[in-house]
Amino acid sequence: MADVVKSISYAMSLRTPQEEALSYLDAISSHCDYKNDDKTAVEAVASENCENQRTVNSKFEFPSFCYAMATGIGKTRLMGASIYYLYKTKGYKHFFILAPGSTIYDKLRKETNPNHPKYIFKGLEAEMGKPKVYDGENYDRYPVRFEQLSMFVDNTSDIQLFIFNIGKIFNSKTDTEFNFHKFKETLGASFADVLAQFDDLVICMDEAHRYYAPASMKAINYLKPILGLEFTATPKSTSNIIYAYDIARGATEGFLKIPVVMGRSNTAGYSQEDIEEMKIRDGLTLHENRKAILREYCSNNHTDYVKPIVLIACKDTDHAKQIREKIDSDDFLKGKYKGKVIEIHSKQTGEESEENVRLLLSIESSSNPIEIVLHVYKLKEGWDVNNLFTIIPLNAAKSDILAMQTIGRGLRLPFGEQTGDEKIDTLDIVAHDHYRELVDEIKSSDIFRYRDLDSQSAEHTESVDVTASASDEQLSLFDDAIASAGVKSFTDISNPKTQHEIYEEYKKNFMTTQRKAKPDETPADDGQMTLFDMNSESSSSTASGSSVTNEPATSNTTIDPKQSPSKMMSEEDFSKSLVEYAVKAISVPKILVQTTSEVKFKRFEVKRSITDFEVAKAQIERFDAINQKLLAVIDAQILEVNDAMNTLACMLLDTISELSFDDADFVIDVVEQYLSQIDGTEEEKKQIVRRYASMIINDIRKQIYEHVERKTEDIHLVQKDLIIFKKFIKSVKDDGQIKFDKPFTDKANIKKYLFTGYKKSYYPSNAFDSDSERQFSIILEEDPDVIRWIKPPLNQLGLFWKAGQQYNPDFLIETSSDKYMVEVKALKDLTTDEVIAKAKEGIKWCGFASSADPDHKTWHYRLVSDDNIKPGNSCKFTLGTAHSVKED
């Protein structure tokens, strides 16, 4: 793969299929000249260098290559990479981007703005200037002039993009010319003629299968491009594909969601209307579960909430209207989806159809109330969202249920890659009436999975916010005030003077935050039209404490006005709330553990491993080619370095990264030792070094590394004196909140429960991964020596066990004399590599935390097996059974 492809891929963070696609363009482009080679020659090179050596034959009058890429892989980003590649390697500056309709046309125009989150050249900002963009709205101001019947364009080093939809080039119904083809006084020609004059025009066709009608091809050929690049998931012709990447690869390699066919086979006796309602209700149950799961995932990983949506395919417009009236009513599920449904008629044409699809472009926003989209037939291109998780095809033929045009709309991943959580990485397709037939069809498929709802029903769950004694917004104010006041232990908060100091900082921070929270300063949502213009009802609900919520509150400021007090707390109320919080909080510092390595070079006896150096004199021979005889032999000049020792010393410094100029004496010593073992005069040594320098350096380098001393040391940085743990979100089954000390039998499904009623715990309710953890929590609650404990939420402690991955121990405990980090594991898992690696990092953390602990208590790490956890035993006894872990 060429270096330029690797550089572009690195800068743009291209996915593997995007990089592979670009590499095939590079393989072809490196062997031809699009400006001067004819179409036949270019296609011959393409046939030899494309994927699988297909025979490439474009139906256009110019060479045109097709990328057949599955929806969701990132065709637009590949387009940007291809444009920059041709600019960088060929010097081409003029690129015509063709869109099939106004929706994609508007989308592409926005994505050529460097400030757009999906900027077409994202990552290349430092490598290229801002491209100049001309489109259907401003093309008549293009800087061109005609002098003596010749066209002159100002030279530019910038990329120029010309973005048009096919309707701007010709009218598909009448084939009449638009202004694009008409003479413009400001240009001195039609804009089509201006473009046709460029000798480096490349045309990029988005959704390329839409341009193969004769009139479209005629309009495109008129522009006389030297090269075409086609981007589509459903190519009209396979004769010019240079790279293909289908859904099967995308799903198995982790770049797309995995489609899962869901269904009930036991539907005998039900009418079609009953099955239809059953599908809708089951689909919406799955939808509600996914809302809870996504909310929990986003909260734990500190990412913006991804609001899932449902797509319901209806058989005709009347059917869509009936379904909407059913769902969008007070009677259906107690009005849960009233005001949350939008209806799209795919039979509509022209501006009305485009406007409806345009409305859908804001549906990814969590502030948008729409959760259900009803459509008839297939949604057009341009509606590419990452939050579609459930498709419900109603009264569809079996062949239509798995149609890629529909499924493709839901394959994009919300977080850019698969998370490893099956509930987030899949797309559900509810297909009761054809379920058994479909399962037989897809059992051997690399793409689809299936799930039988008869044996495994779609269980309803709810999303529960669990907070400490104060809301998250209140905790944020506490956090800022405590840090500003310099408080390092929660025990200090019992002091009235400390409370007053914290309150003074609280007042300052509160006033600052309130000023930021003014509604008129809230920025608009990325400039897109929202669905609030169509439907004024908002069903967003918020909650604090441990109440149940189905959707997150949205805010662009630190404090959510719906959850925060509108007035500043009095000092008395503030101090009371702060003290109540501090009683349950363990003083835990946020510590970053890092490993440093120190290298020491000590003098050693250098040995010469190369047995012989040859410095044979070279000669120049003059040979008479006509008479076939040697005329003369002349001694040639032998190459040499100016200074043998200096040359080798500098090369060593460049070769061994651990060496610096502070090691100059060491470097000079090893070089002098080596040179002393080479026979000959100083002049001969200069010649030897010139010829054998690389071999000599490798010989010396190997010996240096054999004698180097390395000392590895762990160091720590206290990033924050006190961690204030925020809320966590848990997906809980119906009736899944139970008192922690009550008999519990559903141990296999413990992750679906929330256990309540804790008194010593930081959180009044806790969730567990195993029943052993729950039993250990009972021990902690009953032991009088335990003062307080916390089950740390995901990713809030800041302890990393390997690059980019945090370790979340099961418990942090404070007793009257010590503090503990505890991990509870099944006996069979104690010796796994991951458990041991995490334990070692926990031991290091505890060592550093002991030296930084403001309460002067020692931290200990304990790895406890499940067979040693028995309610009735003390915490001290249980921790005494912990398994030892050898430190490095």
- Side chain identity at 308, as an amino acid letter? P
First to last CA, the chain: 40
Mean pLDDT for the stretch of residues 480-508: 91
Provide the pLDDT confidence category of residue 167 given band limits of 50, 70 and 90. low
Instruction: Look at 626 and 742; give whichever has higher pLDDT.
Output: 742
pLDDT one-digit tens code per residue, 713-757 = 777 788 888 999 998 888 898 889 999 989 999 999 999 999 999
Closest C-alpha to 257, from 411, 50, 148: 411
**Backbone phi and psi for residue 620, each to the nearest 5 degrees, phi listed first:** -105, 125
* CB atoms near residue 763 (< 10 Å): 23
Average confidence (pLDDT) over 480-505: 92
Element (H, E) at 344: strand 341-344
Structural class in CATH, domain 728-880:
alpha beta
Residue 808 has pLDDT above 80, yes or no: yes
Select from 76, 65, 107 the least CA-distant residue to 14.
Answer: 76
Instruction: pLDDT band for 536, please (50, 70, 90 cuts).
Output: very low
3-state SS track over 367-379:
CCCCCEEEEECCC
b/e per residue 297-316 (b: at least 16 CB within 10 A):
bbbbeeeebbbbbbbbbbbe
Locate 601 and state its tokens.
Answer: 């070079």
Which pTM does this prediction carry? Answer: 0.58
**Neighbour count for residue 678 (Cβ, 10 Å):** 16
Asked if 333 and 301 count as a contact pair (C-beta separation under 8 A), the reply is: no
Q: Say yes or no to pLDDT of 870 above 70.
A: yes
Tokens of 645: 């020792």
Q: Is residue 358 scored above 90 in pLDDT?
A: no
Q: Can you name the residues that pair with 162 across neighbouring β-strands?
A: 96, 134
**Coil vs helix vs strand at 325:** helix
| CB 242 within 8 Å of CB 65 | yes
CB atoms within 10 A of CB 764: 16
The answer to whether residues 360 and 368 touch, using CB atoms and an 8 Å cutoff, is no
Instruction: Give dist(CA 843, CA 846) in Å, integer.
Output: 5
Q: Which residue has the tokens 């300063």?
A: 521
Give yes or no for a contact between 308 and 287, defined as CB atoms under 8 angstroms apart.
Answer: yes
Residue 455 pLDDT > 70: no
Sign of the CA dihedral 179, 180, 185, 186?
positive
More confident residue, 71 or 480: 480
Phi, psi of 155 (to 5 degrees): -65, 140
Q: Tell which CATH classification among 3.40.50.300, 1.10.645.10, 1.20.1630.10, 3.40.630.30 matches the domain 3-245.
A: 3.40.50.300
Which of the four pLDDT bands, split at 50, 70 and 90, describes residue 676? Answer: very high
Q: Which residue carries 């097709």 as its tokens?
A: 66
The residue written with tokens 């599908």 in the block is: 279
The pLDDT of 167-185, averaged and rounded, is 55
- Cβ count near 805 (within 10 Å): 11
The DSSP letter of residue 634 is: E
In the predicted model, what is the mean pLDDT of the chain? 81
Backbone φ, ψ for residue 162 (5° rounding): -120, 110
CA atoms within 13 A on the CB side of 780: 27
Reading the block at residue 417, the tokens are 């890659």
Is the Cβ–Cβ distance between 815 and 863 less than 8 Å? no
Sequence spans of domains, the chain:
3-245, 254-459, 476-578, 602-707, 728-880
CA proximity to 575, closest of 648, 679, 481:
481
Most confident of 10-24, 240-254, 336-350: 10-24
Whether 90 and 68 have beta carbons less than 8 Å apart is answered as no
Burial class (CB in 10 A: 0-12, 13-18, 19+), 797: buried
Nearest-5° Cα angle at 521, 519 to 527? 105
Is-same-fold flag (3-245; 254-459)?
yes
170 versus 3: which is more confidently predicted? 3
Beta bridge partners of 310: 372, 390
| Residues 563-577 pLDDT 10s | 445 578 899 989 999
pLDDT in tens, 145-161: 666 556 666 666 688 99
Secondary structure element (H or E) that encloses residue 452, with its range: strand 449-452
pLDDT band at 655 (very low <50, low <70, confident <90, very high): confident
The answer to whether domain 254-459 has CATH 1.10.645.10 is: no
Q: What pLDDT is stored for residue 442 in this prediction?
A: 46
Q: Which of 12-16, 56-60, 73-77, 521-525 has the lowest mean pLDDT?
A: 521-525
